[in-house]
């Protein structure tokens, strides 16, 4: 049933916007492995304004990354799949420095716990950003973790993946490159 719905959604999405049909079809063809879970949107979706907190409790607006492609990852220190996924997000950032990989610690995550998680996972090069009361995660319909949302340079959601993934896989990098080339 899930496969049928995915095919139906893709067919409807492609038919709904002929201008994007070729781009989406080309990107669909690049999806392999974990990237098959990536839902590409026929039309970009508006994302609410967000202000995160950094490790020093300073406010950091999501708008700081406007103009860049963003891989926005909702995660938590207690999330086992997040622990597995996080190093691949760092490797994606290192392989594709033109994008911004933003891990957003969602819910109650102490700064000390985040820093310990980063050290254990070997990802100290990623920013510490927090959404402690899920003020951003809730309107983004994040119901479980991890969830990764891809934003275009205008700050709109163009794709979403629920669950963990190998973000530095050849397929993931090809999908990101194709999205960047098309937008």
Q: Are 37 and 161 in contact (CB under 8 A)?
A: yes
Distances (CA, A) of 52 to 37, 61, 65, 181: 27, 6, 12, 29
How confident is the prediction for the chain on average, in pLDDT? 89
Q: Indicate the pTM of the whole model.
A: 0.86
pLDDT in tens, 90-114: 999 999 999 999 999 999 999 999 9
Residue 15 pLDDT more than 50? no
| Domains, in order of start, for the chain | 37-168 (3.40.30.10)
3-state secondary structure 18-75: HHHHHHHHHHHHHCCHHHHHEEEEEEEECCCCCEEECCCCCEEEHHHHCCCEEEEEEE
Of the listed ranges 2-16, 134-148, 154-168, the one predicted with least confidence: 2-16
């Amino acid at each position: 049933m899930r496969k049928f719905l995915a095919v139906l959604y893709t067919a409807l999405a492609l038919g709904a916007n002929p201008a994007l049909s070729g781009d989406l079809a080309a990107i669909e063809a690049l999806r392999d492995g974990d990237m098959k879970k990536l839902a590409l949107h026929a039309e970009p979706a508006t994302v609410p304004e967000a202000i995160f907190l950094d490790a020093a409790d300073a406010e950091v607006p999501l708008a700081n990354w406007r103009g860049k492609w963003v891989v926005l990852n909702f995660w938590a220190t207690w999330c086992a799949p997040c622990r597995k996924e996080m190093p691949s997000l760092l490797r994606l950032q290192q392989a594709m420095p033109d994008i911004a990989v933003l891990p957003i610690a969602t819910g109650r995550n102490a700064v000390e716990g985040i820093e310990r998680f980063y050290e254990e996972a070997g990802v100290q090069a990623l920013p510490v950003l927090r959404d402690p009361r899920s003020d951003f995660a809730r309107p983004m319909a994040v119901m479980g973790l991890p969830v990764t949302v891809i934003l275009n340079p205008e700050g709109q959601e163009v794709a979403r993946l629920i669950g963990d993934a190998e973000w530095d896989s050849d397929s993931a990098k090809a999908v990101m490159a194709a999205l960047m080339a098309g937008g």
